[in-house]
Amino acid sequence: MGSDEVKKFNCIITGAGGFVGQALASALLADPLVSKLTLTDIFKPDVPQTTSQSGVETRCLDADLTSLETCQSLFTPDINLIYLLHGIMSGAAEANLELGLKVNIDSTRQILDILRHTNPGVKVIYPSSLAVYGPPATPTTKITELNTPVPGTSYGAQKHICETLLDDYSRRGLLDGRVTVRPGKPTGAASSFASGIFREPLKGEKCTLPVSKDLEIWICSPRTVVKNLIIARDIPKEKFPGTRLVNIPGVTVTIREMLEALKAVGGDEALKLVEEKRDDATEKIVLSWPTRLDISRAKALGFAEDGTLTNTLKEYIDDYGGKIS
């Protein structure tokens, strides 16, 4: 390779069949810096449709990442960029402790240990969760990356364990990890209603709202999440003194404000499709998450800030289709 030739990425995305995984894959397929892309999940993921492709060599595989043999065959020395998006989400991890431990901790450690031996220093992007922090001291407390995590759920504890492990491996120079705390098709995530109350009504389908309209949450648009996952890849490791953890930008909103945005974009017809049906278990989980994050470190590193709720909905319709009044 000539000295003026840019080294291209041979990338793998785990959990690539999910919403964020597919959106990230679509962006990477159009990225001229990517030469190869492996998409893997417990089922064989699709190759997302893109308006512009840069000739990326793509393969899609179903894989059990709790299997050592499978992981050894997947994470080969030629891979130089890894996005670890797989996992058992919040509600499901709370309901099934053993499964959460196996997938969220054991498989992640297994992958990191393979990588530090076969691909020392390789770049690993790990999207974590604000669930690691636990509830704030007060409703207006702003959480920084240096807050002591006190997870209020098994999911938060499991993600925190993996954050700490990747942070330590990066400190030792074994891997080049970047941990992004990001906001949370319905999944086992307790936060799935937050996207569902936009997604389903805009498709003309009913959805359930399991929490109070006055509840606050920290959210981020799909475009901003994907944009920042790529930005995380391109920041030099020297700009991460100390912890590799970064709170990527988002916005604090109430559920009521989200419904108002839905009405503004989709009209009364869309709003009527949201059925209020409180679920104490879901609300308890969501109340254990902080609602205000300090994003000053992310801004200093060049991460993109999020826009308004209405703009997010219009972007969603542009990207995924739906109805607009």
Residue with the two structure tokens 């709370």? 94
- In whole angstroms, give the CA distance from residue 37 to residue 35: 7
Q: Which helix (H) or strand (E) holds 110?
A: helix 107-118
Instruction: Please confirm, yes or no, whether 155 is among the known catalytic residues.
Output: yes
Q: State both tokens at 94.
A: 């709370």
Q: From CA 153, how far away is CA 284, in angstroms rounded?
A: 10
Compute CA 214 distance to the chain's CA centroid, rounded to the nearest angstrom.
25
- The answer for residues whose C-beta is within 8 angstroms of residue 190's C-beta and 6 or more apart is 89, 90, 91, 94, 184, 282, 285, 286
Token pair 């470190």 in the structure block, residue: 297
Catalytic choice (133, 155, 169, 316): 155
SS3 302: coil
**Residues designated catalytic:** 155
